[in-house]
């Protein structure tokens, strides 16, 4: 989510504060868990050095959130005087039988476990002992620190690009925030209110300026556009009273995880046949999977409601950070032809990406933060699923002498039945599913259904021979 203020990082942005407040309802817990499968056990000393670089690159990873007891400003970030890198880095050897399922079980429990909010909100754990000498790195980060795109930016700044540790020319040692002694020193809450007001003053003219300019020249048309902006804001924030799925209706704080792989080239070719994006092909595959899953449960569906994270990140934004807004949209499931479905999805998603109120997302978040936290649950808990697409590295990455073979993300469900996140890495799209077992008690059936949805989409490919969708057990 973009911020109304990019200069004073002492306080959470309005959008990050909204993620923080969500956790008053544990079903809305905003924890990101990612798992990297490594070809060998990483060297411990090099791994610690890598993470030391990371916290220097992203100073917020050395800061903790201090809640304002009067509640008149969001929590502020302050350096943790007791910061201990070793506390955030853990390492275990898996017990027998040491399977991939054990890694997924560790990931799901990590996502279910609340952070100690007296410390910086992240934990990295190496799990050794997998078959053939492989290891896994489980990365747990609170959403108030970064989004998926920001996380990949950070990863590509700190990992290696060869096994011996060589880095590409041109890597920059960027910082995401000024050190504390460079931040403006104002009374605690006054600093935040001043920055919020000046930030709104910067954003509002960009979103509303053309309406003001036209008001004198064409008042009727200008008022029509203002009304459209107001309607757009309502569409972004309106409560949702019930799920569209008649099957995935229950909600809990429990989670379980699954993964599968899809070839990047094949998915890109399938998207190209309909002149749409990989994201459109991804969403169409999930929708086809939803149709199959509901038929297994004796139900027919014509529409599904999803939460779509929309990136607002620009080249001027610092490394990391949270630069997304959330759109809740209804997508069709009554189209059998995958090419036609991709085109229908493209039309709906593009319309939402260009909603007039999207640039005002930080201001809207500020208004929502004035409401009871339960209002956020009313917005999100009756959404059917969340889908997110993150562009990863096209080149192999290395961590302390270990090559990353696969890279899966388990993003928060945000109160929905499940989150499915597609993260491209080298030649594969790594798909991670984070599901609520009360809504989806048969995760294997859901996973196979969505994988079959991808297989249907990949039938559109004419050039590539690799169209294998592999469910990883």
Q: How far is CA 361 from CA 1, 204, 323, in A?
A: 8, 11, 10
Lowest-pLDDT range of 81-85, 213-217, 398-402, 449-453: 213-217
The DSSP bridge partners found for residue 33 are 140, 410
**Residue 44: count of CB within 10 angstroms of its CB:** 12
Q: What is the pLDDT of residue 15?
A: 75
Same domain, 315 and 430: yes
Same domain, 37 and 167: yes
Confirm whether pTM is higher than 0.75.
yes
Lowest-pLDDT range of 171-185, 229-243, 314-328, 440-454: 171-185
Same domain, 293 and 163: no
The pLDDT tens digits of the residues spanning 157-175 come to 788 999 998 665 545 544 4
Same domain, 150 and 273: no
User: How is residue 327 written in tokens?
Assistant: 């759109």
Q: Is residue 90 part of a domain?
A: yes
Same domain, 34 and 161: yes
Q: What's the pLDDT band for 184 if we cut at 50, 70, 90?
A: very low
The pLDDT tens digits of the residues spanning 54-87 come to 898 888 899 998 887 766 677 888 999 999 999 9
Q: What is the pLDDT of residue 310?
A: 77
Tally of structural domains, the chain: 2
Q: What is the pLDDT of residue 174?
A: 46
Q: What is the pLDDT of residue 156?
A: 74
Q: How far apart are CA 10 and CA 437, in angstroms?
A: 38
Q: Is residue 181 part of a domain?
A: no
Of 117, 138, 171, the residue that ends a domain is 171
User: How is residue 199 written in tokens?
Assistant: 């930030």
Q: What's the pLDDT band for 220 if we cut at 50, 70, 90?
A: low
388-404 mean pLDDT: 94
Same domain, 252 and 152: no
**For residues 63 and 145, which has the higher predicted lDDT (pLDDT)?**
63
Lowest-pLDDT range of 246-250, 461-465, 468-472: 461-465
CA 456 to chain centre: 26
Say what the alpha-carbon torsion angle 114, 116, 120, 123 is, to the nearest 10 degrees.
-60
Over 90: is that where the pLDDT of 285 sits?
yes
183-193 mean pLDDT: 48
Q: What is the pLDDT of residue 309?
A: 84
Q: What's the pLDDT band for 317 if we cut at 50, 70, 90?
A: low
Residue 165 — left, alpha, or beta (φ > 0 → left; ψ -120 to 50 → alpha)? left
Over 50: is that where the pLDDT of 451 sits?
yes
Q: Which among 106, 32, 11 is positioned nearest to 414, based on CA atoms?
A: 32
262-268 mean pLDDT: 96
Q: Is residue 230 part of a domain?
A: no
What sign for the dihedral angle of Cα 339, 341, 347, 353? negative
Over 70: is that where the pLDDT of 403 sits?
yes
Lowest-pLDDT range of 21-35, 103-117, 355-369: 355-369
The mean pLDDT value of the chain amounts to 83
329-333 mean pLDDT: 95
Same domain, 138 and 278: no
Q: In which domain, by residue range, is 35 found?
A: 14-171
Q: Is residue 189 part of a domain?
A: no
Q: How far apart are CA 419 and CA 387, in angstroms?
A: 6
Q: What is the pLDDT of residue 299?
A: 97
106-113 mean pLDDT: 95
Same domain, 287 and 377: yes
395-400 mean pLDDT: 95
Q: Which among 176, 152, 189, 228 is positioned nearest to 393, based on CA atoms?
A: 152
The DSSP bridge partners found for residue 260 are 431, 471
Over 60: is that where the pLDDT of 217 sits?
no
253-273 mean pLDDT: 96
Tell the burial category of 345 from Cβ atoms under 10 Å away from its Cβ (0-12, 13-18, 19+). Answer: buried
Q: What is the pLDDT of residue 191?
A: 55
Q: Which among 143, 170, 144 is positioned nearest to 156, based on CA atoms?
A: 170
Same domain, 166 and 247: no
**For residues 23 and 401, which has the higher predicted lDDT (pLDDT)?**
401
Q: How far apart are CA 184 and CA 9, in angstroms?
A: 10
224-244 mean pLDDT: 77
Of 155, 171, 187, the residue that ends a domain is 171
The DSSP bridge partners found for residue 424 are 429
Same domain, 274 and 125: no
Show Cβ contacts of residue 398 under 8 Å, excluding neighbours closer than 6 positions: 159, 160, 161, 162, 163, 165, 404
Q: What is the pLDDT of residue 70?
A: 66
Q: What is the pLDDT of residue 3?
A: 37
User: How is residue 34 written in tokens?
Assistant: 């990612």
Over 80: is that where the pLDDT of 228 sits?
no
For the chain, give the percent of residues with pLDDT over 90: 52
Same domain, 142 and 267: no
**Per-residue 3-state assignment (H helix, E strand, C coil) for the chain:** CCCCCCCCCCECCHHHHHHHHHCCCHHHCCEEEEEEEECCCCCHHHHHHHHHHHHHHCHHHHEEEECCCCCCCCCEEEECCCCCHHHHEEEEECCCCCCHHHHHHHHHHHHHCCCCCCCCCEEEEEEECCHHHCEEEEEEEECCCECHHHHHHHHHHHCECCCCCCCCCCCCCCCCCCCHHHCCCCCHHHHHHHHHHHHHHHHHHHHHHHHHHHHHHCHHHHHHHHHHHHHHHHHHHCCCCCCCCCCCCCCCCCCEEEEEEEEHHHHHHHHHHCCCCHHHHHHHHHHHHHHHHHHHCCCCCCEEEEEEEEECCCCCCCCCECCEEEEEEEEECCCCCHHHHHHHHHHHHHHHHCCCCHHHHHHHHHHHCCCCCHHHHHHHCCCCEEEEEECCCCCCCEECCEEEEEEEEECCCCCCCEEEEEEEECCEEEEEEEECCCCCCCHHHHHHHHHHHHHHHHCCCCCCCCCCCEEEC
Q: What is the pLDDT of residue 72?
A: 62
Q: Is residue 8 part of a domain?
A: no
Q: Is residue 377 part of a domain?
A: yes
CATH number at residue 303: 3.30.559.30
Q: What's the pLDDT band for 7 if we cut at 50, 70, 90?
A: very low
**For residues 192 and 407, which has the higher predicted lDDT (pLDDT)?**
407
Q: What is the pLDDT of residue 86?
A: 96
Q: What is the pLDDT of residue 237?
A: 77
Of 171, 205, 222, the residue that ends a domain is 171
The pLDDT tens digits of the residues spanning 195-209 come to 555 555 555 555 555
Contacts 24+ apart (CB under 8 A), 291-295: 291/333, 291/453, 292/449, 292/452, 292/453, 293/247, 293/445, 293/446, 293/449, 293/450, 294/245, 294/246, 294/247
Q: Is residue 443 part of a domain?
A: yes
For the chain, give the percent of residues with pLDDT over 70: 82
**Residue 53: count of CB within 10 angstroms of its CB:** 14
Same domain, 126 and 258: no
Q: Is residue 20 part of a domain?
A: yes
Q: At what angle do helices 264-273 and 278-296 cross, to 10 degrees?
A: 90
Contact 41, 133 (CB under 8 A): yes
Over 80: is that where the pLDDT of 251 sits?
yes
Q: How far apart are CA 144 and CA 122, in angstroms?
A: 10
Over 70: is that where the pLDDT of 47 sits?
yes
CATH number at residue 110: 3.30.559.10
């Amino acid at each position: 989510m973009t911020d109304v203020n990019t200069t004073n990082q002492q306080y959470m942005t309005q959008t990050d504060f909204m993620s923080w407040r969500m956790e008053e309802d544990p079903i809305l817990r905003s924890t990101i868990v990612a798992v990297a499968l490594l070809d060998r056990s990483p060297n411990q000393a090099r791994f610690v050095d890598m993470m030391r670089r990371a916290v220097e690159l992203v100073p917020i990873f050395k800061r903790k959130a201090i809640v304002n007891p009067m509640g008149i400003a969001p929590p502020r970030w302050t350096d943790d005087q007791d910061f201990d890198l070793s506390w955030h880095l853990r390492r275990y050897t898996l017990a027998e039988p040491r399977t991939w399922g054990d890694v997924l079980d560790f990931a799901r429990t990590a996502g279910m476990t609340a952070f100690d909010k007296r410390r910086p909100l992240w934990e990295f754990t190496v799990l050794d002992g997998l078959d053939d000498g492989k290891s896994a790195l489980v990365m747990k980060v609170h959403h108030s620190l970064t989004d998926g795109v920001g996380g990949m930016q950070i990863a590509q700044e700190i990992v290696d690009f060869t096994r011996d540790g060589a880095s590409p020319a041109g890597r920059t040692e960027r910082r995401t925030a000024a050190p504390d002694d460079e931040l403006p020193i104002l009374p605690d809450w006054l600093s935040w209110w001043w920055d919020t007001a000046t930030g709104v003053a910067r954003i509002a003219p960009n979103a509303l300026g053309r309406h003001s300019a036209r008001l004198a020249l064409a008042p009727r048309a200008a008022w029509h556009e203002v009304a459209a902006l107001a309607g757009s804001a309502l569409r972004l924030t309106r409560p949702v009273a019930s799920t569209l799925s008649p099957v995935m209706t229950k909600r809990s704080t429990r989670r379980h995880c699954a993964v599968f792989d899809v070839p990047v080239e094949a998915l890109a070719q399938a998207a190209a046949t309909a002149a749409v994006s990989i994201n459109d092909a991804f969403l169409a595959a999930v929708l086809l999977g939803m149709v199959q899953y509901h038929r297994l449960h004796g139900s027919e569906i014509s529409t599904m409601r999803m939460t779509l994270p929309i990136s607002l990140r620009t080249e001027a934004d610092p490394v990391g950070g949270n630069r997304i807004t959330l759109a809740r949209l209804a997508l069709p499931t009554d189209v059998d032809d995958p090419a036609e479905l991709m085109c229908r999805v493209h039309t709906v998603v593009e319309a939402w990406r260009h909603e007039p109120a999207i640039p005002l997302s930080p201001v809207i978040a500020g208004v929502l933060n004035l409401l009871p936290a339960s209002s956020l649950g009313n917005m999100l808990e009756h959404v059917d699923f969340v889908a997110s697409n993150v562009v990863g590295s096209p080149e192999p990455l290395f961590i302390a002498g270990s090559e990353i073979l696969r890279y899966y993300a388990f993003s928060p469900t945000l109160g929905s039945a499940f989150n499915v996140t597609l993260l491209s890495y080298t030649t594969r799209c790594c798909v991670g599913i984070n599901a609520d077992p009360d809504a989806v008690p048969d995760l294997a059936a859901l996973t196979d259904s969505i994988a079959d949805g991808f297989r249907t989409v990949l039938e559109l490919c004419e050039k590539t021979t690799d169209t294998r969708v592999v469910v990883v057990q």
